[in-house]
Structures are given as structure tokens and as C-alpha cells.
Amino acid sequence: MADTQEIVSVLTESRVFPPPEQFSQRAHIRGMQDYQRLWDEAEKDPQKYWGERAREELFWKEPFQTVLDWKPPHARWFVEGKTNLTYNCLDRHLPRLKDKPAILFEGEPGDRRSITYGELSQQVNRLANGLKSLGVKKGDRVGIYLPMVPEAAVAMLACARLGAVHSVVFGGFSAEALQERMKDAGVKVLLTADGGWRKGAVVPLMKNVEAALTHATGIEKVVVLTRTGDGKLPAGPKFLAWDALVKGQSDTCEPEWVESEHPLFILYTSGSTGKPKGVLHSTAGYAMMASLTTRWVFDLREDDVYWCTADVGWVTGHSYVVYGPLMNGVTTVLYEGAPTQPGPDRFWAIIERYKVSILYTAPTAIRAFMRLGDGPVKQHDLSSLRLLGSVGEPINPEAWMWYRDVIGGGRCPVVDTWWQTETGAIMISPLPGATPTKPGSATFPLPGIHAEILDRDGKRVPRGQGGLLFVTKPWPSMLRTVYGDPERYVKTYFSELPGMYFTGDGARTDADGYVWLMGRVDDVVNVAGHRLGTAEVESALVAHAKVAEAAVVGRPDDLKGTALVAFVTLKHGNAPSDALKKELAAHVAKEIGAIARPDEIRFAEGLPKTRSGKIMRRLLRDVAAGNHSTQDTTTLEDLNVLAALRQNDE
């Protein structure tokens, strides 16, 4: 059970920024009365409200009759309807937008491509036909392990066209992580590349794939895109060049009209225990909310050049790089590489070059840029920007202000958007033409979203006090299950309070009812905007031959938000050393990926445990942060262990 007593709020922030008047005048939602009206409509008759939104947002091949069938904790939305997400992203725009850029791509080495809606549609159809020729059908799982290149979007859209379920694995994940995910999802075909560019070096994707394939995965075919040009296509009937697959394929492909609830994608995310969870999203509810929230939260207009800097390997890349923007017919920018490659001004150069009007990025990036100073920003004309967004972790007021003043020139509203892989779409966020913002607050839930802060008995906590964030009613883009593990779906999300979705986050509201997120309350830490289950890092450490036991906790960090600290006890006969620390850190990076590499490793004789043998991570969190714990230690088995850990610190 999550511990609400740990949630102590220390932030006091009183600045308020009303939306600029000029912005509001042209916005989709122009004031708090509009917001309130929508909120009331949704509250009064949720079925009518969501039904209307679904009819407006999507093309329906066959209409739905039932808006929601809710048998807690299982929801089915827009039940009898049929649609196709790729049709909604591409085909329906073609009469008007065929020649408009859909994707503006820039590779890290500086190569550029502009792909129109017409061209994108052709590429998607060719790949869809190619996949069909490999036997991919509706419901089959297709893995995607690609760099941030347009083909990543093409791959997702080709799957959706066929009703195949994609499972994208972030290109920064290791061979082990890839193998585990491919196997769990039962992937039949994997789409990958020889490599990608990151920080001036090649990320060896193909090598990782080959290493993954030395274990059982069930993968029948691997389609390899040439991106970096190093390395030959591996020999054997399993491997196929991307170019060869699409060559000669027709550029038309009839979309598979799927039921609303047909699964669209699986995306793995960290949990507090065990292996990563395959979050499963279905088609229509997800599509509808991705489309609606992109338009409302980013106040999209057709002439916007929109740039969300997330990788397609994360849910933000799914909803706000690919599906949301394309459903709205705007131009979306895709950048392959690192933010400071080759220089600290790369992001700002991109904004100037493409006249980006909307920027959506993560607090960790903003803080990193802040450290570099205003200089690199000032070298570029950022006057095209009109709106800024933040996602992935709490944004501290200082970074929020810097973002607003230095990047946005003081004129662009900032939307701090709260959501999760599981929610599929933004849930709590300002609407930029309506909501007065406060630095560091995600403000209010969107109309129809019942995000509530409750105590462990399900009672609403008073304003100002911290509690657990729940979503108390179903919403269309909610996850449908944990792939292959329906019990885990119920246990993880619906067992704190029956029938209500538990987010795992702590939050509070202030005197004006604004929502302030306060971070995770489970053993999941958020490092640089990416969720990591500490249990996964621990099990990677314990897999090392010299490690007996490990506990991993988060420590507040100025740049990354949270740094990972690992407490490690060694097996007999092994001595602590700096070399071993390095070895263990490298081991974790290999097992999971560089994002999980501990920032600090501390050797310990023993770990603090309860009498029942549970590691008391909350005590370790204090030790890691250098705080003297004021916490209850009555269940601690051996007080000396804690004293020894503290001594190590001094």
C-alpha cells in the first residue's frame, strides 16, 4: 500500500500567468467559462459528451451505438464502431493536404528530408503491403526498434493500417531488454535499422538485435533499414533489407477496418515489481483522445509547425509525435539525435530553421539547457514559437520560468502536461487560451477526466494536503490490460481502491484548486523523464556474480530530477572497490540500457529490513539524500544496519 504520510509538500509558488489576450482571442478554448462549460457537459452526461467527441474526431467506417460498456475495471468504448487509425492520420487529409509536409526530418549528422502527406501515405502503404507479403495479418505483433527517423512513423502507421499490433522498443534499450520485450509480446516480425546516430556515434541497433536473437524470441523475420551504412545485412533467411521489402510494392493498400476495441499497440513500461509491463492500448478511444488533446492542449492550427522532442520509443512519441499531430493534419518535426550535438544550440537552430511554432519537451532537457546559459539560445531567432509544453516529470518553477522567459521570450504560454503511458493521452494540463498558469502546476484535469486526490480510504484530501492521485472514472484512452497478464492489470491499477484507477503518483491541490504533482509513491523512480522500476535495476545488479543483494532508490538531482543510488552488498570473498563500482554500473547499462545506469553505487554490509525481510527503501532514500530520517523505524529488524550505512556516508 502506498504511504501517503510520506507526501510532504514543500513548494510554495504564488505567481500566476493569465493567458496572453491575443492568444486567447484565437484559441480553440478561450477562457475558463468555456472550460467550465465543457467540464459541466461532460459531468452531466459523460456518454453524450464522449460520444460527440468521438464522432467529431474520427472517421467511422461503421458507427458505434454504445459509447461505454464499463464493467469495472474493464472498459469498452464506442463498441460497435469500426475505423482505422492510419486512415484517420493520412487518407482523410489527402484531398486537401496531399502536398503539405507531414514530417520535417533532420538527422543528427545534418541530413534533411521533408515528406508530404501524399508521400507519407505512399510509403506507409508500400510497407504495409510488404508486411502483408511476409504474412503479417490483423492482430499479429510487429516489433519496432528504430532510431528517430521517418521510417519509425511509417512503421507504426503501416502496422495500424493492417490492424497489426506494434510494440516499439526505445533504441536506447539493450539487447537483453529488447529480447525480453519481443518474447513477451510474441513478436513475429521486427523492423529495425543497422544503426542510428546519437552524440556523434552510431547506436548499434543491428548488433543488439543479433545478440537478442541468440535467445528465444519467436521472431520469424527481421527487416533492416539502412541508416548509418555500417555493417552488412546478416546472412540467413531471417534477414531482409527494408528497401528490398518495399521495392515494387503497390502504393495503395486497403485499410483494415478494425473494431474500436481492436488492440493498437503494446508499450512496455516499468513497474515496481517484476518485469516491465506491456501496456496495451486499443484503437478508437486512444485515437480519439490523442487527436482531441493535441488540438486542445497545443491549440493547434493548420499552419503550425509542431515539434515534440520525445523519441517514438516512449508513449509521448506515439501520441504526440506521430498519431496526434498527423490526425490533426499539421506538420510534425522529427529530430534523430542528441540535443547538444554538434553544439549546445542544436535545438534552437532547428526551431529557427523550420520556424517551429510549438515546442513540447521534457523538464530534464530544459534544466540541461538552463545550465548551458542563455548564450546558445540568443544565437537564434525563436520568434516563430507561440506555445511551449512540458512533460514527463514535475517541472520545478525555476525551470518553468526560464523556459517561459528565455525560450518563449515571455510571450508563449507554458503547458505543463501530466499523463502516463497507461493514460494514453494528456489528462491534467492547462488549456493555453483559457487557463491562468502557475509555474510548476499542471493546473486542472481536462473536461471529462476525473482525476482526484484521495487518501487510502478513498476520501478526498483537503486542499493543501498531499494524497494519492486516482482517476475515478473510465476515460476512452485508458489502457485495456497488461499484455499477457490480466491479473497484473487489476492488481497494479485497480486494487488500491476498487474500480478506481491508481496512478502511482502523489499530488495535492492548492487553495485555488490547482493540481501539483509530487512524484511517484511506489518504488518507481522518474529519471530524466523516464520511468524506471527500481526492482528492475536491482535484479540486474543481483544478476552480477559478485552481488548478494541490492536496493535501488532515487535521490533528488538538480539536472535529472532524480538520480539512482544503488546500495549493494557483496557475496563473501569480494572486496568493495572503485573498479567494481564501475563494473557494476556498466553491467546495469548492458542489461537494461544506459538510462538505468546508477549514478552512485554504495557498498553496504547489510540493508535495512523489516522483520518480514522487506527492504525498507524509505530509510535508504533518506540515507541517499543525506537526510537524517525522522521516519518510523519500529519495524526495522536491526538498527545497527542503518547506523552503519550512515557512517559510510560521513
- Chain positions contacting ligand PRX, by CB under 6 A: 269, 315-316, 391-394, 416-421, 442, 503-505, 517, 520, 526, 530-531
**Minimal distance in Å, beta carbon 29 to ligand PRX?**
19
Q: Which is nearer to ligand PRX, 203 or 391 (CB)?
A: 391
- Set of cell numbers at residue 99: 502536398
Q: Which is nearer to ligand PRX, 129 or 417 (CB)?
A: 417
- Set of cell numbers at residue 579: 573498479
Give the three-state DSSP class for 513. coil
Binding residues: 198-201, 316, 392-394, 416-421, 505, 520, 531, 542, 544, 547
Binding residues for ATP: 392-394, 416-421, 505, 520, 531
Q: Which is nearer to ligand PRX, 520 or 587 (CB)?
A: 520
**Minimal distance in Å, beta carbon 434 to ligand PRX?**
18
**Minimal distance in Å, beta carbon 229 to ligand PRX?**
32
d(C-alpha 567, C-alpha 620), whole Å: 8
**Minimal distance in Å, beta carbon 315 to ligand PRX?**
5
CB atoms inside a 10 Å sphere around CB 56:
10
Beta bridge partners, 308, equal: 360
Q: Which residues contact 290 (CB under 8 A, 6 or more apart)?
A: 318, 319, 320, 323, 324, 327, 424, 425, 477
Q: Which is nearer to ligand PRX, 361 or 417 (CB)?
A: 417
Q: Which is nearer to ligand PRX, 115 or 267 (CB)?
A: 267
Binding residues for Mg(2+): 542, 544, 547
C-alpha triplet 399, 401, 403: angle, nearest 5°: 70
**Minimal distance in Å, beta carbon 426 to ligand PRX?**
8
Cis peptide before 608 (omega within 30 of 0): no
Q: Which is nearer to ligand PRX, 451 or 541 (CB)?
A: 451
What is the amino acid identity at position 156?
M
Nearest CA to 390 among 400, 402, 377?
A: 400
CB atoms inside a 10 Å sphere around CB 236:
8
CB atoms inside a 10 Å sphere around CB 127:
25
Q: Which is nearer to ligand PRX, 90 or 399 (CB)?
A: 399
Beta bridge partners, 115, equal: 103
Give the HSE-up count for residue 309: Cα atoms under 13 Å, Cβ half-sphere: 25
d(C-alpha 297, C-alpha 389), whole Å: 9
- Beta strands 221-225 and 239-241 are parallel
Q: Which residues contact 468 (CB under 8 A, 6 or more apart)?
A: 2, 4, 453, 454, 455, 456, 496, 502, 503, 505, 506, 507, 521
- Set of cell numbers at residue 229: 551504412
d(C-alpha 152, C-alpha 332), whole Å: 13
Nearest CA to 145 among 178, 176, 123?
A: 178
Q: Which residues contact 232 (CB under 8 A, 6 or more apart)?
A: none
d(C-alpha 573, C-alpha 587), whole Å: 20
Q: Which is nearer to ligand PRX, 121 or 503 (CB)?
A: 503
Cα four-point dihedral sign 543, 547, 549, 553: negative
Q: Which is nearer to ligand PRX, 13 or 41 (CB)?
A: 13
What is the amino acid identity at position 595?
I
**Minimal distance in Å, beta carbon 324 to ligand PRX?**
12
Strands, DSSP E only, in 301-444?
Answer: 305-308, 331-335, 358-361, 387-391, 414-417
Q: Which is nearer to ligand PRX, 129 or 421 (CB)?
A: 421
Q: Which is nearer to ligand PRX, 222 or 507 (CB)?
A: 507
Helices then strands, counting H and E runs in the chain, come out as 22, 30
**Minimal distance in Å, beta carbon 277 to ligand PRX?**
10
**Minimal distance in Å, beta carbon 595 to ligand PRX?**
11
Q: b/e for 255-292, b at 16 or more Cβ within 10 A?
A: bbbbbbbbbbbbbbbbbbeebbbbbbbbbbbbbbbbbb
Q: Which is nearer to ligand PRX, 224 or 287 (CB)?
A: 287
**Minimal distance in Å, beta carbon 391 to ligand PRX?**
5
**Minimal distance in Å, beta carbon 75 to ligand PRX?**
19
Q: Which is nearer to ligand PRX, 407 or 547 (CB)?
A: 407
Strands, DSSP E only, in 151-275?
Answer: 165-168, 187-193, 196-198, 201-203, 221-225, 239-241, 258-259, 263-269
